[in-house]
Structure 1
Amino acid sequence: MTGRFAGPLDRLLARLGLRAPPPIATVEQRLADVLATETPADPSHKDQRDRFLGMLDLGERAVEEVMLHRSAIEMIDSSLPARNVLDRVLASHHTRLPVFSGERENVVGVIHAKDLLRAVSRAVRDNGADALADFDLLSVAMPPYFVPDTTPLDEQLREFLKRRTHFALVVDEYGSLRGLVTLEDILEEIVGEIVDEHDAEAMQTLTPNAAGDYLIDGAMTIRDLNRALDWKLPDDEANTIAGLVIHMAQSIPAPGQAFSIGGFRIEVVARRENRLTRLRIRPLQP
């Protein structure tokens, strides 16, 4: 119960020996707490629990927690010749690619592979192959859609549906590019990993070795790992496994260093510059 009538109504109900219903947020939190403590024996029940938790959690999480980091975004330089752009688009697994001018931070548009191929086909059909020399890439690009990194996931989901789009570039409070988020990223928070023919090639196989250790990509999110293995690694201070280790270490540890975090032993296996690329993790015995 919220608003200026909540207090008087609560007092009136108390005089009548009644209690006001708890706020919706309180009900949602209680339900989430109950679901989180349950450990279903049936795998199908676990999937249902995870979906409910994912839906309840959307309002508490921001796009920065599920976005693809800017360092991993595949982009097109607007100054490239049309033939090079075509080669890159055809080789890409993505249908939408941001276009930048000058610096990667300066995103000036987003091209859809289908729109590009149609425009190129039309230009070549009308004017021959020489038309590619003067082809204007930005003429087929859509305006970029920017969203703040603090936007709650439930709000962003509504915006995607309202705009009938599913691709947004994420910026911080200063307007600097931080990453990109898609409708699929948000839906995966509810239903789990959505795997297509391209994702299947890159999917991590979470299989322990004889000692019970799992070899994990440092970029894997804590939430995905917890969901896959029904673990409870803390995710309050970091989004990825590598980020969690760096947060706990307060530095960038070297290969061979190990840490005890939330009932798990996590060892750094490989590091590339300032990135922890490979980690070995196993639950500690109670």
Structure 2
Amino acid sequence: MNDVPLSILFGILFLLIILSGFFSSSETGMMSLNRYRLRHMAKNKHKGAMRASSLLEKPDRLIGTILTGNNLVNFAAAALATIISQRLWPDNPDLAVFVNTILFTLVVLIFAELTPKTLAAIHPEKVAFPASRILVGMQWVLTPFVWFVNTIANALLKLVRVDINATPDNLSTEELRTVVHEAGTMIPKRHQRMLISILDLEKMAVNDIMVPRSEILAINLEDDIEDIITQLRTTQHTRLPVYRDDINAVVGMLHTRNASRFLTNPDFNKSDILQECRDPYFIPESTPLHTQLFNFQKQQRRIALVVDEYGDVQGICTLEDILEEIVGEFTTDTAAIENPDFKRLNDGSTLVDGTAYIRDINKALGWDFNTDGPKTFSGLIVEYLETIPDGPACLTLEDKRIEILKVEDNLVKLSRVFDK
């Protein structure tokens, strides 16, 4: 080695540092690849993505190959740097060792570790895809050695109960929600809101969106026949529950389209309504929305009666209600426009109907009332007061000043809310 010119030794050392940088950047680039984007590109027959995906299927072999090459190169470079330093300072070996340690560490850190790894972390695909060509060949050449090393390493991992076959790239619901939020311009805002709404369905139950019992429009077979005919001709709904005397005694569900078959019949009677009714569909009030969406599809239904644990009807839930939680309002309800649940006043305050759902209020007005307890605004006020107010009253709740304007039938019918 003493007969080899220093220029050649420096050239070999330079080459070894470049190879060390290659292995360092390859490791970071391969591990920084977005697995979901990688799978998409591989499905579209991108050759670099297909090679990288194949290598990442067995990460222990890939890491073993990279580290084997990297360590061989680094040890060879360290040994060569020591020889060069001894050639430069033959009379002072201690100085040679000291200078070699400092300079070689700096060179390797800057040119073989920090710079290539940073580059690979910023542009993993540009580094990993070309490097995969070389890594595939190296993995084949080093198979016996890598297998031996990995066997020992995997045995040690099993001793500490580490599953080497685990798939760490599975996303939880919350992580997927973060991915959608962080997508930026890659996904339009409207589509982001829809995706988030789909994920939020599992957090909500049927009783969060149902039409409450007090607002159910239904046909009472105990009413006069003329009143029933008027109701059928003026209703804005396509499906109406049919019951006898009490809403808990529902006998069927009538599609108003079928009412045309008997409304023109001069001999029309209540039995004609029962003949056109379909069996009612009951669902528990605690059913998650994503489950109920599939249940509607499975049962081929569009409307269901919501019951509590005692079997009493608590409200109505429709397929349209669930879909609107995903895409937003897509129909025009004239009645809702004429009688809104909340109305902004000129002085900045807001009139809120007591039956309005807290979720709808928060969504429309940007408020932050707690939705874990009562579902309606009236229920929220009563829970806070721990009593039903006898008349007008005032309270402060969630940084809002609330004036109770009207109390009727044990219900806070109307309130006025001021921002503090």
Same fold (TM over 0.5): yes
2:346 is aligned, of 187, 209, 215, to 209
d(CA) in 1 for partners of 2:349, 2:217:
33
Q: Deviations over 1:48-73 (max 9, x none)?
A: 66544432211111111111111211
CA distance in 2, matches of 1:134, 1:118: 13
SS at match of 1:252: coil
Which of 73, 78, 87 pairs up with 2:216?
Answer: 73
Alignment pair present for 1:263 and 2:399: yes
- 1:177-188 alignment runs, 5 A limit: 177-188=313-324
Question: 2-side partners of 1:170 and 1:96: how far apart?
Answer: 15
**Cα deviations by residue, 1:66-102 (Å, 9 ceiling, x for unpaired):** 1111121112122456544222111222121111124
1:20 match: secondary structure: coil
Name the SS of the counterpart of 2:279 in structure 1.
Answer: coil
2:290 partner amino acid: D
Tell me, what secondary structure is at the counterpart of 2:163? Answer: helix
The answer for the alignment partner of 1:94 in structure 2 is 237
Query: What's the CA shift string for 1:98-147, capped at 9, x where partnerless?
Result: 111243210010111111212444xx3xxxx2x22585321111100000
Q: CA 1:244–1:31 in structure 2 vs 1: closer, same or farther (change >3 Å)?
A: farther
Kindly indicate whether structure 1 or structure 2 has the higher relative contact order, using CA contacts under 8 Å at least 6 residues apart: 1
Amino acid at match of 1:108: V
Question: 2: CA distance between counterparts of 1:112 and 1:243?
Answer: 33
Contact 1:254–1:268 (Cα < 8 Å) also in 2: no
**Deviation for aligned residue 1:31:** 6.1
Deviations 1:138-185 (A, max 9, x none): 111110000011110111111122333211001111211111111122
| Contact 1:206–1:214 under 8 Å retained in 2 | yes
Distance, in Å, in 2 between the alignment partners of 1:224 and 1:232 is 11
Superposition TM-score, scaled by structure 2 size: 0.55
Q: Match for residue 3 of structure 1?
A: none
In structure 2, how many angstroms separate the alpha carbons of the residues matched to 1:50 and 1:280? 30
Query: Which residue of the partner structure matches residue 20 of structure 1?
Result: 168
Q: In the aligned structure 1, how far is the partner of 2:419 from the partner of 2:357? A: 17
TM normalised by structure 1 equals 0.78
Distance 2:390 2:269 in 1: 50
Say which SS state the counterpart of residue 311 (structure 2) adopts.
coil
* Paired amino acid for 1:55: I
Which aligned pairs between 1:131-142 and structure 2 lie closer than 5 A? 131-133=267-269, 135-142=271-278
Write the distance in 2 (CA, Å) between the matches of 1:221 and 1:90: 29
* Contact 2:255 2:277 (C-alpha < 8 Å) held by counterparts: yes
What residue number does 2:84 align with?
none
For residue 228 of structure 2, give the secondary structure of its aligned residue in structure 1. helix
- Unaligned runs of at least 5 residues, structure 2: 1-157, 183-187
Contact 1:81 1:133 in 2 (8 A): no
Residue of structure 2 in register with 1:40 after alignment: none
Aligned to 1:273: 409
CA distance in structure 2 between the aligned counterparts of 1:52 and 1:281, rounded to whole angstroms: 32
Equivalent in the alignment of 1:4 = none
Q: Specify the SS of the correspondent of 2:344.
A: coil
Letter in 2 for 1:115: N
Count of residue pairs brought into register by the alignment: 256
Q: Distance in 2 between matches of 1:227 and 1:140?
A: 39
SS in 2 for 1:228: helix
* 1:111-126 aligned within 5 A: 111-121=254-264, 124=265
Deviation at 1:246, TM superposition (A): 1.0
CA distance in 1, matches of 2:276, 2:234: 19
CA gap 1:52/1:246 in 2 versus in 1, 3 angstroms: farther
Counterpart amino acid of residue 258 in structure 2: D
Matching of residues 187-266 of structure 1 within 5 Å: 187-198=323-334, 199-204=336-341, 206-210=343-347, 212-266=348-402
Aligned counterpart for 2:290 among listed residues 142, 154, 165: 154
1:3-59 CA-partner distances (Å, limit 9, x unpaired): xxxxx9x8224xx9x982465234246569x79xxxxxxxx95x6665444322111
Distance 1:28 1:261, change over 3 A: farther
SS in 1 for 2:247: coil
Amino acid at match of 2:398: G
Q: Is the partner of 1:265 in helix, strand or coil? A: strand
Runs of 4+ in structure 1 off by over 4 angstroms are: 28-32, 47-50, 79-83
Distance 1:138 1:166, change over 3 A: same
Change (3 A) 1:136 1:225: same
Name the SS for the 2:236 alignment partner: coil
Contact 2:205 2:289 in 1 (8 A): yes
Identity %: 31
Q: CA 1:109–1:95 in 2, change beyond 3 Å: closer, same or farther?
A: same
The match for 1:108 among 247, 251, 274 is 251
Q: C-alpha separation between the residues in 2 aligned to 1:81 and 1:221?
A: 33
CA distance in 2, matches of 1:55, 1:206: 29
Alignment match, 1:11: 162
Which residue identity is paired with 1:116?
Answer: A
